[in-house]
Amino acid sequence: MPRLRRSILLFVASLAFLPIAWSQDLPVIRPGATKSSQPQTPVKASDDESQAESDEHWQVILIDDERAGYVRTRTETLPAKGDLPERIRTNTETKMTVKRFGQALSIDMDLVTTENLDGEMLSYEFEMGTSPTSTTKSVGTVSGKNLTVKTTIAGTTHEKTTAWDSTIKSPAYQERVMREEGLKPGETKTFRTFVPELNVTTDISVAADDFRDVKLPNGTTRRLLKTKVTQAILPTAPITAYFDEKGVGVLAESQMLGMKMRYFDVSKAEALQEIAGAELDLAVNTLIPASPLNDPHATKEVTYRIHVPGEDAKSLFVDGGTQRVKVIDRETVEVTVTSKPIPRTGGKVKADAEFTGPTQLLQSNDAKIKEHLRRAVSPDRNEGEAARVLEKYVHEKLDKKNFSTAFASAAEVADKLEGDCSEHAVLLAALLRARGIPSRIAVGIVYVPGQAKMGGHMWTEALFADGWVPLDATLGRGGIGGAHLKVAESSLSNDAPLPVMTFAPLLSLGPDTQIEVLKVER
């Protein structure tokens, strides 16, 4: 099927939601162009694979008709050798350049998979680079009934082995199942596949409508089979994909935060043309209108009425702790957010290991994390005082606000001391754990200063005797008021969903979302 990957869509959407609260004045977005970088050298076959048959396809990525990048897919059929059967290797390379508040963000993804002729995954290698952070790499190998995945972040490798079902298809299987098996109008094809970018398994359904005349991005019209592609990881955000009579994908499109994202098959020369991006700014384009709220972060309690057309609104917001959710109807909720002050005192609190120990993203045992902790707070401070000091320390230390960072680990932030709200959140969470205070991160939306709009945000929560207390190193105010609406929380443990999955509820909060302030207590 067309190579519109739901994982890429989700990743790009999450980028739009990350950096909001600390921007006191949004920069003016002026037209400009960024040239796409040249493609990486494709995976080379070894000597015994030199007879492999291969083909190559190119696609351009369009977001609201702006050229945002390209995808190159190369597929090789490898001959049988010794105990190895004939198999298929696919290299999918994705390059994108988008903007967040005027700053360019480059995304490079390279995925290599091998599978048998039935589509069962044998192995994969995935690398992702988002300047200026280091590359994240994941390598997975299927052996019998187990999948072993080695993930390397900030130079540290974590290995995990889980049970594997041999009926799970390779991600590349999606790209050729339509050509090999076909799909007639009215038919539906379903299968399970592994998504290396997110390290999850998902069910996929492809439901065929009928052939119809479709106007393509290049202005031509072709008669194509229209299908609806849904994935279990994001069932409310389907893809519309179009195939020719031979089952070859021509176009795929999906709505993303009120914008249209499309993948369109083109020639190599067309795919490598300059990326325009003159007006494509994901962060600016995805802000959500809301009722005006003066000095929002100084509030003690705020009650909102939130209407999300076509969605189960209750499922989109965390209910508990400092946030209460009241259902009005399926699409409407009232959410009350109450400020909870950082305790002036505090002692050790027992918590599950996932909130206290180091992880691949929260490296609380890292030497630079420990050095920052030593500089920030003296050992004689109690836990409440330490948390307040650490929030202010991170706020002041990350004085280079950088929108070109996608998502860095705490160790990377401790080294570079730059980034947006996600970098503030993970560094503070790691410092808290290094100090012996349980921590987690929270994701949601927050008021943009000086505007009647809300945008995506990430902050930190610390556990004390009377429960979880929100902290926001991006703001550095000593806790938060009632201006943060939480949609998800995560320990960022090695077994937790990847950060990009934490942002999934935000995909439903598009420009049609209505946010009204009902009551304010100061």
Regarding whether 267 and 357 lie in a shared domain, the answer is no
478 backbone dihedrals φ, ψ, rounded to 5°: 85, 60
Residue 358 domain boundaries: 296-521
- Give the pLDDT confidence of 417-466 residue by residue, as tens digits: 988 888 999 999 999 999 999 999 999 999 987 789 998 899 999 999 99
Residue 288 lies in a domain: no
pLDDT, position 487? 95
Residue type, 207: A
Highest mean predicted confidence (pLDDT) among 68-77, 102-111, 138-147, 224-233:
138-147
Do residues 207 and 327 share a domain?
A: no
Q: What is the pLDDT of residues 320-376, one digit of tens each?
A: 999 999 999 999 999 999 999 999 987 889 999 999 999 999 999 999 999 999 999
125 and 263 both lie in a single domain: yes
Residue 285 lies in a domain: no
Q: Which of 214, 243, 277 is the last residue before a domain boundary?
A: 277
The answer to whether the CB of 101 falls within 8 A of the CB of 107 is no
Are residues 264 and 379 both part of a single domain?
no
* Residue 216, helix vs strand vs coil: coil
| Ramachandran assignment for 78, one of left (phi > 0), alpha (psi -120 to 50 degrees), beta (any other) | beta
Distance CA 473, CA 486 (A): 16
E strands within 412-483?
418-419, 439-447, 453-464, 467-471
262: amino acid identity, one letter:
R
Tokens for 511, please give them. 């420009």
User: Do 404 and 465 belong together in one domain?
Assistant: yes
User: In a 3-state reduction of DSSP, which class is residue 148?
Assistant: strand
pLDDT at 104 over 90: no
User: Does some domain include residue 498?
Assistant: yes
- Distance of alpha carbon 420 from alpha carbon 21, whole angstroms: 9
CA–CA separation, 99 vs 78, rounded Å?
39
User: CA-to-CA distance for 271 and 281, rounded, in angstroms?
Assistant: 21
Determine the pLDDT at residue 102.
63
- Give the tens place of pLDDT for each residue, 472-504: 999 999 999 999 999 999 999 987 766 667 777
Q: Which has more pLDDT, 24 or 417?
A: 417
Would you say 80 and 100 are in contact if contact means Cβ atoms under 8 Å apart? Answer: no
Q: Please state the φ and ψ torsions of residue 412, each to the nearest 5 degrees.
A: -65, -40
How far is Cα 459 from Cα 440, in angstroms, rounded to an integer? Answer: 9
Sheet holding 514-521, edge to edge: 323-329, 332-338, 301-307, 514-521
Pair (206, 316) in one structural domain: no
Query: Of 250, 277, 304, at which residue does a domain stop?
Result: 277
Rg (CA), the chain: 24
Q: So what's the pLDDT on residue 498?
A: 67
Please enumerate in sequence order all residues whose Cβ is within 8 A of that of 349, keeping only pairs 6 or more positions apart, or say none. 383, 437, 438, 463, 464, 465
C-alpha to C-alpha distance for 126 and 505, rounded to whole angstroms: 25
Same domain, 479 and 338: yes
Buried b (16+ CB within 10 A) or exposed e, 481-511: bbbbbbbbbbbbbbeebbbbbbbbbbbbbbe
pLDDT band at 43 (very low <50, low <70, confident <90, very high): very low
- Total number of domains in the chain: 2
Do 255 and 370 reside in the same domain of the chain? no
Q: Which uninterrupted H or E stretch holds 293?
A: none
The SS3 of residue 430 is: helix
Which residues, including other chains, have CB under 8 Å from residue 398's CB and lie 6 or more apart? 413, 417, 418, 419, 423, 424, 427, 473
Residue 134's pLDDT band (cuts 50, 70, 90): low
DSSP state of 168: P
Element (H, E) at 15: helix 6-17
In a domain, 289, yes or no: no
Task: Assess whether pLDDT exceeds 60 at residue 158.
Answer: yes
Q: How many CB atoms are closer than 10 A to CB 394?
A: 30
Residues 10, 100 within the same domain: yes
Which helix (H) or strand (E) segment holds residue 383: the answer is helix 383-397
Q: How confident is the model at residue 176 (pLDDT cuts 50, 70, 90)?
A: confident
CA dihedral (482, 329, 286, 421) positive or negative: positive
| 273 & 300 share domain | no
pTM: 0.82
Q: For position 367, which CATH number holds?
A: 3.10.620.30
- 279: pLDDT strictly greater than 80: no
| Residue 286 domain flag | no
Report yes or no on 446 lying in a domain.
Answer: yes
d(CA 40, CA 52): 20
203-218, pLDDT tens digit by residue? 999 999 999 999 999 9
Question: Is position 165 within any domain?
Answer: yes
Number of H helices, E strands in the chain: 9, 25
Q: Which of 126, 166, 125 is nearest to 143 (CA)?
A: 166
Both tokens assigned to 151: 């993930």
E strand or H helix at 310: none
Sign of the dihedral through C-alpha 487, 493, 499, 504: negative
Cα(54)–Cα(56) distance, integer angstroms: 7
Q: Which of the listed residues 247, 277, 307 is the one where a domain comes to its end?
A: 277
Beta bridge pairs of residue 245: none
Whether 185 contacts 202, CB under 8 Å: no
360 and 458 in a single domain? The answer is yes
* Residue 516 sits in the same domain as residue 416: yes
Nearest partner of 4 among 270, 227, 269, judged by Cα:
227
Q: How far apart are CA 130 and CA 95, in angstroms?
A: 10
Mean of all residue pLDDT scores within the chain: 84
**Beta pairing, strands 400-401 & 418-419:** parallel
Does residue 283 belong to any structural domain of this protein?
A: no
